[in-house]
């Protein structure tokens, strides 16, 4: 039975639309155009439907009814759907249940002062959130010192293991290569003046004072800081942290404190190890490429080494460990509850750890320069 679409003016302001037959396809464009012309008539106030003779139908009919109702609503015309089949009414209600977002395809033009103001407020809020987090972390360390912190020994030992000897291979490789590069670059210039022996002093002072700690810090930011952010962020996604708060477990003590303490303790040790390996890398350049006697290179290295340089490097390592742990844990805690948020938290943890490592290095270097250390 072919579909039919007809209409009838009941009164001067009411239009009855009759739909009959099997409405699974409809190619009579002229009838539809004429119907829409009647709907746009300025005297029309009400629309009714007559579907008593309607047979089979599919989405073709639903689309037609949707267009009719939408056009009528735009012209403030009352539409009576009581005579429609119940299934048709449910589909129409579902179609109109989510309103169209009218500004979806429009560019949001915002005043530049508003943009700057919002950005400033966001930066200030982020800064205050970071200050509050750092304050909570140091209070937790204080509770640990007086033996009142809620921290499991097994968590601390696991974190100590993860950022301890397991990091030795990558720290060894990078530190050795950095020492070798420092020796090679210094040798290229010093060889011109016949002062190859000063390569030993260059490598020893650079590695002890800052390069060993900095390279170790960058390595650990990518290796351990990202792991902290990913682990805690995943716990946030799984709502484990919410469950801990519900049970009254202090999250900072239980999750953050073992990681922060472990990295603050291990970073100075890794820095010392990095210094030794870097000096060996520079020694390889001096002995094998510059043909310096091993004993002479060794003596020059010992003469160049000063306790203050060693302590400054260890202090760098301690500060970097604190920065990496705090950044990793902070962005893990602040992660959203979806996979994309965990990825962003991991990225932010690494990026901001490296940024703060560079800033801390600059501050310590200026401080040492001003006070002659």
pLDDT grade for 114, boundaries at 50, 70 and 90:
confident
Of 131, 305, 110, 102, nearest to 202 by C-alpha is: 305
Least confident interval from 36-40, 69-73, 133-137, 359-363 = 36-40
CA distance 176 to 179: 5
Least confident interval from 19-28, 172-181, 251-260 = 19-28
- Looking at per-residue pLDDT, the higher value among 219 and 48 belongs to 219
Give me the chain's average pLDDT, please. 83
pLDDT grade for 19, boundaries at 50, 70 and 90:
confident
Of 234, 235, 224, 233, nearest to 259 by C-alpha is: 224
Question: Could you report the per-residue pLDDT of 349-361, keeping only the tens digit for each?
Answer: 999 999 999 999 9
Least confident interval from 116-125, 164-173, 287-296 = 287-296
Residue 351 class from Cβ within 10 Å (0-12 exposed, 13-18 middle, 19+ buried)? middle
pLDDT of residue 166: 85
Domain positions in the chain = 4-95, 153-370
pLDDT of residue 320: 92
**Average pLDDT over every residue of 45-67:** 81
Least confident interval from 8-22, 104-118, 254-268 = 104-118
Residue 1 has pLDDT above 70, yes or no: no
Of 171, 271, 274, 166, nearest to 227 by C-alpha is: 166
In the CATH scheme, what is the code of domain 4-95? 3.30.750.24
* Coil, helix or strand at residue 32: helix
CA distance 366 to 369: 5
Sign (positive or negative) of CA dihedral 340, 342, 346, 351: positive
The segment with the largest mean pLDDT, out of 55-64, 169-178, 184-193, 329-338, is 169-178
Q: Are 219 and 319 in contact (CB under 8 A)?
A: no
pLDDT grade for 288, boundaries at 50, 70 and 90:
confident
Residue 101 has pLDDT above 60, yes or no: no
CB atoms within 10 A of CB 156: 17
Question: Could you report the per-residue pLDDT of 196-213, keeping only the tens digit for each?
Answer: 778 888 888 888 888 888
Residue 312 has pLDDT above 80, yes or no: yes
Radius of gyration of the chain (CA): 36
Least confident interval from 27-36, 215-224, 310-319, 357-366 = 27-36
**Average pLDDT over every residue of 23-33:** 69
End-to-end CA distance of the chain: 98
Beta strand 14-23 with 4-11 is antiparallel
Q: Are 70 and 36 in contact (CB under 8 A)?
A: no
**Average pLDDT over every residue of 142-146:** 84
pLDDT grade for 63, boundaries at 50, 70 and 90:
confident
pLDDT of residue 102: 53
pTM assigned to the model: 0.66
DSSP-derived letter for residue 191 is G
β-strand partners of 46: 14, 78
pLDDT of residue 351: 92
Residue 192 has pLDDT above 80, yes or no: no
Structure tokens at 82: 């009581």
Cα dihedral: 364, 370, 372, 373 (round 10): -10
Question: Could you report the per-residue pLDDT of 246-274, keeping only the tens digit for each?
Answer: 887 888 888 888 888 899 899 999 999 99
Of 27, 36, 85, nearest to 57 by C-alpha is: 85
């Amino acid at each position: 039975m072919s579909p039919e679409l007809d209409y009838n003016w009941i009164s001067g302001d009411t239009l009855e639309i009759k739909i009959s037959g099997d409405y699974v396809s409809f190619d009579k464009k002229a009838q539809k155009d004429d119907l829409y012309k009647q709907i746009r008539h300025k005297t029309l106030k009400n629309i009714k439907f007559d579907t008593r003779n309607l047979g089979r139908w599919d989405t073709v009919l639903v689309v037609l009814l949707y267009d009719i109702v939408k056009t009528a609503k735009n012209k403030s015309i009352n539409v009576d759907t009581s005579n429609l089949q119940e299934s048709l009414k449910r589909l129409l209600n579902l179609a109109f249940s989510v309103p169209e977002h009218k500004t979806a395809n429009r560019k949001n033009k915002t005043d530049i002062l508003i943009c700057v103001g919002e950005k400033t407020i966001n930066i200030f809020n982020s800064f205050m959130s970071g200050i509050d987090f750092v304050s909570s972390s140091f209070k937790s360390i204080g509770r640990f010192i007086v033996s009142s912190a809620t921290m499991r020994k097994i968590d601390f030992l696991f974190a100590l293991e993860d950022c301890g000897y397991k990091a030795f291979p990558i720290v060894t490789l990078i530190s050795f290569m950095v020492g070798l590069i420092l020796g090679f670059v210094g040798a290229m210039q010093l060889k011109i003046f016949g002062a190859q022996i000063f390569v030993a002093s260059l490598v020893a002072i650079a590695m002890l004072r800052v390069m060993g700690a900095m390279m170790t810090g960058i390595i650990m930011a990518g290796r351990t800081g990202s792991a902290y952010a990913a682990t805690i962020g995943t716990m946030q996604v799984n709502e484990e942290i919410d469950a801990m708060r519900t049970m009254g477990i202090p999250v900072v003590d239980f999750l953050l404190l073992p990681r922060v303490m472990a990295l603050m303790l291990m970073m100075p040790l890794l820095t010392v190890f990095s210094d030794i390996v870097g000096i060996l890398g520079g020694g390889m350049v001096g002995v094998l490429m510059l043909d310096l006697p091993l004993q002479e290179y060794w003596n020059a290295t010992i003469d160049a080494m000063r306790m203050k340089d060693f302590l400054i490097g260890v202090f760098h390592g301690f500060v970097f460990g604190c920065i990496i742990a705090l950044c990793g844990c902070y962005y893990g805690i602040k992660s959203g509850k979806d996979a994309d948020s965990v990825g962003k938290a991991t990225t932010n943890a690494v990026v901001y750890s490296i940024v703060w490592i560079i800033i801390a290095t600059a501050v310590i270097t200026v401080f040492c320069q001003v006070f002659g250390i």
